[in-house]
């Protein structure tokens, strides 16, 4: 009887540890996904800035050359 209670208690502790380990793994995955999303947002921001700079460069070059492209 005592052995059965000890065994059940041991199993419950293992189950709790397994659940906690699973929760930690899920948290790590979620943090990794969040970090990836933040990096993607930063990249998209830099990409948008580069796009604007390129447009400004093309327009400025067109104005310097009195090109028809300046009408854009």
Residue in the block written with tokens 């502790």: 13
Distance of CA 70 to the CA centre of its chain: 39
Domain segments of the chain: what residues?
38-72
pLDDT confidence of residue 2: 64
Residues near 63 by beta carbon (within 8 Å), at least 6 away in sequence:
70
| CA–CA separation, 37 and 33 (whole Å) | 6
Local mean pLDDT, 10-residue blocks, the chain (72 residues): 65 75 89 93 96 92 68 56
């Amino acid at each position: 009887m005592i052995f059965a209670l000890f065994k059940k208690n041991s199993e419950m502790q293992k189950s709790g540890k397994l659940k906690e380990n699973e929760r930690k793994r899920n948290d790590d995955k979620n943090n990794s996904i969040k970090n990836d999303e933040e990096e993607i947002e930063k990249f998209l921001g830099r990409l948008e800035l580069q796009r604007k700079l390129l447009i400004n460069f093309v327009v400025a070059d067109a104005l310097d050359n009195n090109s028809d492209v300046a009408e854009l």
